[in-house]
């Protein structure tokens, strides 16, 4: 039996034989009002899940776009309380699954138990911590795994095959496959090896596999979805938000949604 909203959504995608679309939003950028509008719009156009990024001052795994948006959110005073309030507002209107995307510092600063409790109360379904490698802190990992949030794990192209199996086996909701080494950011193209690598992860994973990092166009999304259960898009949406506001970001999201709908299996 799939667990919670994330599991139910991926079960639905499997039944529909189509890949999922997971957009990323930097909470509070450029303002909380933009975030609320984006969340509502993404839910309405059919996002299968949403990654809600907690802004952090030193986002080392992120490229220039997400770094800029994170700093902008912090500069305008965005707090975790504000983010949870925006999530709670979304949850009153939509059942779209939401994964909190965060570095450990904001979680630890609040206290892990308090953060998780408040995230669940606001309507979050999962958490992905970018700077907590598998096996790094077994006690903290156990605390997150045993919580009401699905603890989503990361796998990279450089991860050893035996470790891929272990990480995927510990992941809840889905496993996030990083499409390339380095930081986040839109790219001109995807690596030729991506489909083969994604298939290898799926072969040993008991949970669905989502691919992200660098996917920015409809064509890239379709290509990434050839072996993935879902595709994550972040930097391209933030860039479009900068250039054309919320309507432009939602227009790109709809284009990506339709491209993935056309990539059914």
The residues that are catalytic are 51, 62
Mutual angle of helices 112-122 and 80-93, in 10-degree steps: 30
Chain centroid offset of residue 50 CA: 6
As a whole number of angstroms, the distance between CA 60 and CA 136 comes to 17
- Residue 22 pairs in a beta bridge with 232
As a whole number of angstroms, the distance between CA 203 and CA 218 comes to 26
Query: DSSP 3-state assignment of 20?
Result: strand
Q: Is 20 left (phi over 0), alpha (psi -120 to 50) or beta?
A: beta
- Burial annotation 40-64 (CB, 10 A radius, 16+ → b, else e): bbbbebebbbbbbbbbbeebeebbe
User: Sign of the C-alpha dihedral, residues 110, 134, 166, 101?
Assistant: positive
Query: DSSP 3-state assignment of 236?
Result: helix
For 92, counting Cβ atoms within 10 Å of its Cβ (0-12 exposed, 13-18 middle, 19+ buried), the class is exposed
The answer to whether residues 260 and 229 touch, using CB atoms and an 8 Å cutoff, is no
Peptide bond preceding 30 in cis form (omega within 30 of 0): yes
């Amino acid at each position: 039996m799939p667990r919670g909203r994330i599991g139910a959504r991926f079960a639905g995608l499997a039944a529909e034989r189509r890949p999922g679309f997971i957009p990323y939003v930097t909470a509070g950028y450029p303002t909380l009002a933009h975030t609320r509008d984006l969340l509502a719009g993404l839910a309405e156009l059919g996002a299968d899940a949403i990654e809600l990024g907690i802004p952090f001052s030193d986002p080392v795994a992120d490229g220039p776009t997400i770094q800029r948006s994170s700093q902008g959110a912090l500069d305008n005073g965005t707090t975790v309380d504000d983010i949870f309030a925006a999530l709670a507002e979304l949850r009153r209107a939509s059942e779209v699954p939401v994964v909190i995307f965060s570095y450990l510092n904001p979680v630890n600063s609040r206290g892990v138990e308090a953060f998780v409790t408040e995230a669940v109360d606001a309507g979050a379904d999962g958490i992905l911590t970018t700077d907590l490698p598998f096996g790094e802190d077994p006690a903290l990992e156990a605390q997150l795994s045993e919580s009401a949030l699905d603890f989503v794990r990361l796998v990279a192209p450089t991860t050893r095959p035996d470790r891929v199996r272990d990480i995927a086996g510990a992941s809840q909701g889905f496993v996030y496959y990083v499409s390339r080494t380095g930081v986040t950011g839109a790219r001109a193209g995807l690596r030729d090896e991506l489909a083969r690598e994604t298939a290898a992860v799926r072969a040993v994973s008991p949970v669905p596999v989502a691919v992200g990092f660098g996917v920015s166009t409809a064509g890239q999304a379709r290509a990434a979805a050839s072996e993935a259960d879902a595709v994550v898009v972040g930097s391209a949406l933030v860039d479009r938000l900068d250039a054309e506001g919320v309507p432009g970001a939602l227009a790109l999201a709809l284009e990506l949604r339709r491209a993935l709908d056309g990539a059914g299996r």
